Amino acid sequence: MPIIGLNHAVLYVRDAELTAKFFIEVLDFTRVSDYSDFKGGAFLRANGSTNDHDLALFSIGPNAKDSAAGKLSVGLYHLAWEVDTLDDLEAYGQRLHAAGALVGASDHGATRSLYAHDPDGLEFEVTWVVPAALITAADSPKTAPLDIKRDMKRFGRDTVGGIGVSRPSI
């Protein structure tokens, strides 16, 4: 009985509408049915997803404290959203930068990652996964500065990532 992946994430935020607007405008999520039974909630689907929803947001009010996870308590560090191509990763990097949300960019060997904060300061990652057939010794685990132009020359701007790693081989 294998687990095949993460179906959705649920976050408590100060203002679900504000956070939903961020994910819709910056990361191309779409709002799904309003789920009127969940007052103060927003249910979103990632642009390339077929899930009922990928992200649920619930408002807990403007006086909510920042998360202490990783500082004073255990808790979730971040979620990672996977993109198809390095071209997509670059475009999202530009959007996140323009929104003032981008906080980091790393080459982790088999993944290329952007790190950003949502309106409540919760961290998330946008990542492109090197296809299995293209992984070499140069892609061993590490944390190095992201050089997306170099990676585009090596892998191609529009090479679909994750094949044989996070997605089935074709």
Q: What is the DSSP string of 24-54?
A: HHHH--EE----TTSTTEEEEE-TT--SS-S
Q: Report the amino acid identity of residue 9.
A: A
Which structural domains are found in the chain, ordered by start?
Answer: 7-61 (3.10.180.10), 77-170 (3.30.720.110)
Per-residue model confidence (pLDDT) at position 35: 60
Question: How confident is the model over 55-103, as pLDDT tens digits?
Answer: 999 999 999 999 999 999 999 999 999 999 999 999 999 999 999 999 9
Give the contacts of 71 (CB within 8 A, at least 6 positions apart). none
Question: How confident is the model over 25-55, as pLDDT tens digits?
Answer: 999 999 997 665 667 899 999 999 999 999 9
Question: How confident is the model over 2-22, as pLDDT tens digits?
Answer: 777 788 999 999 999 999 999
HSE-CB for 126 with a 13 A CA cutoff: 29
Mean pLDDT of all residues belonging to the chain: 93
Question: How confident is the model over 133-156, as pLDDT tens digits?
Answer: 999 999 999 999 999 999 999 999
